[in-house]
């Protein structure tokens, strides 16, 4: 068990790397929200969502930091419907697609863009899908709509910097570090000083998160060791200690704690070895005593047997002496 724990400690040392903060630039984030379903079936919704995703991507909207606040969505209205004669007959649908960018948390609409489209299909749903397919993601009017909305969103951050920082501090004080970091990370680099201030606060809160998690892990590790101060407890300690980041404020306590565990295990192993050696020596001593006792017993038994034989022989001799000579001599001749 001791060798196994030493290997675990070695792997822990090798796996530790200097923690580096990620200060990559975060672009403006707007997510696609499902369109209104009044005139759109599931297939038309999926098609329109794909178009909106392409529009955001083409206009440099981040996809790696999903927003729960700013959305691009759309709704459709049927303006006109005609039946085109033929075999089979077809339907022509003129629809109005209204694209909307807004803040779903504060219920603020930042911009709209309206397209009038026509599609022809075998039924109404098919005609609407054909109309949606004609949406040009590179439409200059769409780009202007996206740019105007982005400007308003940036203005939102400028106007609410104090509130954003305050909300992050409150969340951090409640131990909701991830949520606090998320709110700060949503601020785009286009916000200038606001962005820089939020980046600084992110570093501070992330350090608080690291310190808090590290202290929790260390406390759990110490509790596990206190409960089982042996090789089994050491195995429970290892994954907890390995999860503490080197930049955590409590990390300076890790090395002394690991040395304490190692020394205890070494001492336990030494005591265990000494105990086993004592058992071995005691067993050998018992074997020696048993052997000597058997030998002594055998010697005594041999002496007794010899005495008994000699006594018996003396009886025989005495008996022989008491017999007449003739009978005695005849007895000798029979051997």
pLDDT tens digits for range 118-145: 999 999 999 999 999 999 999 999 999 9
| Residue 70 burial (C-beta neighbours within 10 Å; 0-12, 13-18, 19+) | buried
Residue 274 or residue 264, greater confidence: 264
Q: Report pLDDT for 69.
A: 81
Listed in order, strand segments (DSSP E) in 60-179 are 70-84, 90-103, 108-121
- Quote the mean pLDDT of the chain: 80
Residue 32 or residue 86, greater confidence: 32
User: What b/e readout covers 257-294, taking b as 16+ CB neighbours within 10 angstroms?
Assistant: bbeebeebbeeeeeeeeeeeeeeeeeeeeeeeeeeeee
β 31-32/108-121 pair status: unpaired
CA distances to 31, 104, 146, 147, 335 from 141, rounded to whole Å, are: 20, 23, 9, 10, 141
Q: Report pLDDT for 36.
A: 85
Model confidence pLDDT, tens digit, residues 4-30: 444 444 444 333 333 333 333 345 778
Q: Are 67 and 30 in contact (CB under 8 A)?
A: yes
Peptide bond into 40 cis (omega under 30): no
Average pLDDT over residues 232-258: 88
Q: Report pLDDT for 145.
A: 95
What is the 8-class DSSP label of residue 190? G
**pLDDT at position 103 over 80:** yes
């Amino acid at each position: 068990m001791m060798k196994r724990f030493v290997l675990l400690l070695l792997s822990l040392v090798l796996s530790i790397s200097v923690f580096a903060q990620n200060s990559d630039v975060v672009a403006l984030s707007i997510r696609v929200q499902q369109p209104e379903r009044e005139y759109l079936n599931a297939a038309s919704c999926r098609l329109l969502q794909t178009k909106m995703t392409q529009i955001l991507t083409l206009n440099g909207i981040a996809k790696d930091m999903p927003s729960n606040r700013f959305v691009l969505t759309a709704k459709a209205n049927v303006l006109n419907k005609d039946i085109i004669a033929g075999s089979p007959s077809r339907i022509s649908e003129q629809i109005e697609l209204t694209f909307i960018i807004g803040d779903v948390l504060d219920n603020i609409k930042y911009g709209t863009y309206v397209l009038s489209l026509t599609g022809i299909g075998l039924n109404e749903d098919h005609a609407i899908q054909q109309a949606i397919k004609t949406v040009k993601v590179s439409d200059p009017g769409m780009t202007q709509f996206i740019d105007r909305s982005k400007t308003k969103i940036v203005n939102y951050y400028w106007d609410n910097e104090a509130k954003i920082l305050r909300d992050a501090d409150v969340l951090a004080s409640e131990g909701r570090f991830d949520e606090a970091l998320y709110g700060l990370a949503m601020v785009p680099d286009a916000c200038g000083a606001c962005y820089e201030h939020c980046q600084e606060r992110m570093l501070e809160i992330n350090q608080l998160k690291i310190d808090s998690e590290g202290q929790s892990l260390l406390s759990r590790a110490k509790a596990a060791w206190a409960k089982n101060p042996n090789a089994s407890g050491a195995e429970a300690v290892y994954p907890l200690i390995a999860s503490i980041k080197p930049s955590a404020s409590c990390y300076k306590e890790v090395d002394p704690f690991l040395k304490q565990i190692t020394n205890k295990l070494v001492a336990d192993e030494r005591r265990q070895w000494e105990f086993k050696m004592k058992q071995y020596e005691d067993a050998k001593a018992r074997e020696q005593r048993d052997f000597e006792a058997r030998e002594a017993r055998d010697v005594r038994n041999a002496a007794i047997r010899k005495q008994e034989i000699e006594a018996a022989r003396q009886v025989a001799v005495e008996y022989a002496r008491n017999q007449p000579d003739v009978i005695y001599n005849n007895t000798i001749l029979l051997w």
